[in-house]
A and B are shown apart, each in its own frame.
Chain A
Amino acid sequence: MSFQEIKAKYVRYRNKRLQNKQQFQRSINRSKGGDIGIFVMLGIVAVIMVAPMVYAICQSLKPLDELFVFPPRFFVVNPTGKNYRDLFNLMNESWVPFSRYIFNTVFISFFGTFGNVIFASYAAYALAKIKFPGRQFLFSVVVYSLMFNSTVTGITNFITMSWLGWVDTYFAVIVPSFCYTFGLYLMKQFMETSVNDSVLESARLDGAGENLIFWKIAMPMVKPAWITLIIFVFKDLWNMGASLYIYSEQLKTFNYAIGQLVTAGIARSGVSAAATVVMMIVPITVFVITQSNVITTMSASGMKD
């Protein structure tokens, strides 16, 4: 390597560092004391935020003698995998096998999420990019629907469900999640900012139908948004406990079964801690993987009046 090359490489390196430094240097209007204060405060609150999660993990790794030590200990000293093995055995022995609960949760989460992404994206594309009369009205109804939650509709939905004959079936849980309006809202806002009208227009001039444009042009452009929809709908369905519309034990979810374990009076036992960890690790992992996409989507989510 010649001297020139090395020098050029160094200059590139130095420029990059300078650039980075400039990017993160937020010295304008920032006092050192304030920075430290904020950091300390964030640290303390972050500890409170994660304490229960860390505790659940510790608890799930404790051997029996540590679980019942007095005064109670927070951290684990001799970690063991026994609780997880016990959980696994317990799952096989219960009246309705635990695999059935897990299957229910996975089944509901998968189909509910999938359906919502398809339905909401179609509607969002139509609202954002096809100028049909009435779209403003439809969107304002969607915005109003963000202003109340499902407790209001729960009672009458029960009547609808029984009329449809869906009480005590998977449909009662999966189909309503297709029309999760916050998903449509996010998707529409994101399509408005990130899908370029001129590209769509030229595709239309080339004779492409709206369906083709939707799949080939719009959907690839809004990847962050549908990833966000997936995590939002998925976490709701995954964390869904006992549903109003489900009676049979065979159709209930994993979260419901865990709730039974925890409230059954063995709250301090390692097994229920292990179950809690299993339950929380899934949505958290999904969020870790998708975080940057979620933030990108949310940045377009503001409500313009």
Chain B
Amino acid sequence: MAKEQAVIRNDMSRFKWTLNEMKKHKTGYFMALPFFILFFIFTVAPVLLSFVLSFTTFNLLEWPDFVFMDNYIRLLLDDDIFMTAIINTFKFSMITGPGSYLLSMLFAWFINELRPKIRSIMTLFFYAPSISGQVYLIWTIFFSSDQYGYVNAWGMKLGLLSEPVLWFQDEKYIFPLIVAVALWTSLGTSFLTFIAGFQVVDKSLYEAGAVDGVKNRWQELWYITLPTMRPQMMLGAILAITGSFGFGAVITALVGFPSPNYCAHTIMHHLEDYGNSRFEMGYASAIATILFFMMIGANMLVTKMLRKVGT
């Protein structure tokens, strides 16, 4: 079969050969088409459209005017809240992205050391927060600002706090708290990827490693497990990074919108504010475009770094 194709390929031009291949496998296009039409309408087109709209003054009512870079200039020079949002987003994703990645990796590794029955129970315990909807709101009850809040009540009873602390209203505490809650919900799909990744490592490699002088579990992890798990690590990184930009709704549910003195205001909130409340679509598109390049940039950077690991 392969030989035959090779001969055919020599006989005709590359273009003709491609055309022939397309005709031969046309069912492939029919099968992929429904998904990719929708994918184009709801994912590719919006990205392109928001790029185009970001150069205009579109507001859903009037015909958009082309204003070139005005939106971006206004964003970067005139919009103080946007600057706060950028800094917050960077801070937030720099902590939750790598944080959730490392936690997923570490706990998946620990859980992998357990027997299968306990392993699946532990997997459930660690994965459950990310799938159980609004359970994270329970943290607002634990950290409620009155004396009925568990942390306040017990802290006062044990003499650690002298008066109730306004956990989710005080700028000092909001940021660490939302990071903690975000990390709590973040052991999601990347965690499962690692759990599975650890299980498919060939066990005989460990024995071979032990013969070759691997002395403890940390060396085993570093020299044997991680290099064989690179594909899973790549996917896990992408999921963790993308996830770290997706906590806008969690933050809003925890501290409200807008957050006190914009201390937890991220680009996601800024985007929602202009896009869904003020309907300044051109301006919002500029924000979306910046966010898009931030996410793609962070992912490209990290996958490039991970490609170097172990080579």
Contact = CB atoms under 8 A, between A and B. Distances in A.
Interface in A1-52: 24, 26, 28-31, 34-35, 38-39, 41-42, 45-46, 48-50, 52
Main secondary structure of the interface of B (DSSP, over half): helix
Interface in A250-301: 255, 258-259, 262-263, 267-268, 276, 279-280, 283-284, 287-288, 291-292, 294-299, 301
B3 interface: no
A122 B245 contact: no
Contacts of B253: 259, 263
A72 B134 contact: no
B12 interface: no
A286 to B, nearest CB: 9
B177 interface: no
Contacts of B71: none
A100 interface: no
Contact of B28 (A26, A126, A149, A182): A126
A55 B138 contact: yes
A160 interface: yes
Contact of B217 (A34, A53, A178, A295): A34
Interface string A130-171: 111101001001101111110111111111100000000000
A48 B157 CA distance: 21
B36 A123 contact: yes
Contacts of A107: none
Interface in A212-228: 214
A149 B295 contact: yes
A139 B243 CA distance: 21
A30 B128 CA distance: 29
Interface in B137-172: 137-142, 144, 147-150, 153-154, 157
B122 A42 contact: yes
Contacts of A125: 31
Contact of A42 (B36, B110, B288): B110
Nearest to B284: A155
A122 B44 contact: no
Contacts of A299: 196-197, 199-200
A176 interface: yes
Interface string A225-242: 000000010010011010
Interface size, A (range)? 35 or more
Contacts of A184: 35
Interface in A62-89: 70-72, 74
A279 B246 contact: no
Interface in B22-77: 22, 25-29, 31-32, 34-36, 38-39, 41-47, 49-50, 53, 60
Contacts of A295: 123, 192, 195-196, 199
A261 B60 CA distance: 33
Given A152-B50, A152-B292, A294-B192, 20 more contacts: A29-B210, A29-B214, A29-B220, A39-B114, A42-B107, A71-B153, A72-B153, A74-B150, A127-B32, A132-B29, A149-B245, A152-B295, A155-B50, A179-B35, A210-B28, A279-B133, A283-B131, A298-B193, A298-B196, A298-B232
18 contacts: A53-B132, A70-B153, A151-B288, A156-B47, A156-B49, A157-B46, A184-B35, A214-B31, A255-B134, A259-B137, A267-B144, A276-B138, A280-B128, A294-B192, A295-B123, A295-B196, A302-B197, A303-B231
